[in-house]
Structure 1
């Protein structure tokens, strides 16, 4: 049995999935309690690299998809939060805890709905992940999609998926506002109409149904018979992305981007999936120049945190807080980045302000206490 953490993790750190699989095949005994310094199991590492064959191997050896690391993140929720729909679907076959939450109190649906990972959302809903669970910000997945999304084609589809799967648009948060109220507040009239009338059909209803059922070639056949317009272009890009044909997906998203800035987000997410961080950053920055500045700033900050660029993420969050100084979710993300670069006093001060605004939410007092403990160790 391997007792040295670095041995198996060195194997997993290789870029070639083929090389990893070859060396894993030579392992005779498996230590299922093995973790690295971050408390991550080998399965965590494989999931974060989006290596489906390696994930399948490790799941088959008995590594748990519900095991948490030091940040309370499991491989199951990590796959959802990163939009790795193939890996996520594979993990669903190994009986993960569908009600499990991350350190923010979010199920697998919360981060995937927030970020627009619609294929993951469809699979999570079909598997039985609770549709109306509230996270520690008091938001359901639907509230996250409405508040943190935009009025583009993707988030319209996201709202439809959630509501048609029984998500309740009248669930309120700690401010007493529901999804319809937020759509109205944001002046997202199309989203508001969808929330009120989710069963209305249009020329793309059959295509959404085909995509939901994984009938991608059927969706392509249906799309070939529709007039060429921006929405058709979006569905072509989405269908090819779901098929794993990223070259064709990029072609259609770039075609859409010639006309509409909303396609910058689709291209940024595709570039992230491909590991092209420079291109992803470029698309986010181009999106920020559009009228949808707040949406792109928020999701750009998410991206910067994911790649460990916390100083830049803090600058972006400061821009968002200038626009809306009472947003405690912005404060929470800023404090996490400050803590990541050991600015514990500043993190404490940000959480103290969040606590002033929402004194009954224990999330902020817990993080104040965590920053205080870290300060005492310095």
Structure 2
């Protein structure tokens, strides 16, 4: 149940089963799936369930949702996919799982950023390495005409130089 920071109370009417699932309530999510909750529809904030679980690194919930028929390429209002969100937030195991399940490694969001753009910018070196090994295109440009290596800047991450070295080597 969501907590309202202003009133200091739990507010049931603000509850959303998918947003709540990112807190790791696997059994609770499973119960809602059994009750017929939609797997591919966005919540009131524009995020579908798999994207929420992937973005928070809840691998077990991702597995459950995909086993039950969630679309691995579902998107939010910003065009992000579960893979993009997982790469952005640094969840390597989730990134690996989603790609194993058929996620498109070069899918783009509304800003034409790929998972590689986000992982590079955030300095998630192991994810950058994995995405490159899986065929991620390091030459794709986003709407600002930036390729992933251009986003490796100290203002975004302390490990930017390692991601830059990795991108330079490919």
TM bracket (short chain):
0.7 to 0.9
Pairing partner for 2:133 from 120, 126, 139: 126
1:155-304 correspondence to structure 2 within 5 Å: 155-165=160-170
Task: State the distance in 2 between where 1:138 and 1:111 align.
Answer: 14
Q: After TM superposition, which residue ranges in structure 1, 4 or more long, deviate above 3 angstroms?
A: 24-27, 152-156
The SS at the match of 1:156 is: helix
CA contact (8 A) 2:120 2:149 kept: yes
The SS at the match of 1:25 is: helix
Task: State the distance in 2 between where 1:117 and 1:105 align.
Answer: 19
Unaligned runs of 5+ in 1: 1-5, 166-378
How many residues align? The count is 153
Pairing partner for 2:98 from 73, 86, 91: 91
**Counterpart residue number, 2:149:** 142
Instruction: Give 1:11 shift.
Output: 5.2
Are positions 1:12 and 2:21 aligned together?
Answer: yes
Instruction: Give 1:54 shift.
Output: 1.0
The TM-score with structure 1 as length reference comes to 0.37
Instruction: Give 1:30 shift.
Output: 5.6
**Counterpart residue number, 2:80:** 73
Higher relative contact order (CA 8 A, sep 6+): 2
RMSD of aligned alpha carbons: 2.4
The SS at the match of 1:39 is: coil
Larger radius of gyration: 1
CA contact (8 A) 1:43 1:63 kept: yes
Are the structure 2 counterparts of residues 155 and 35 from structure 1 closer, same or farther at C-alpha, using a change threshold of 3 Å?
closer
The SS at the match of 1:92 is: helix
Bigger proportion of residues as helix: 1
Are positions 1:34 and 2:41 aligned together?
Answer: yes
Pairing partner for 2:27 from 7, 22, 27: 22
Are the structure 2 counterparts of residues 74 and 125 from structure 1 closer, same or farther at C-alpha, using a change threshold of 3 Å?
same
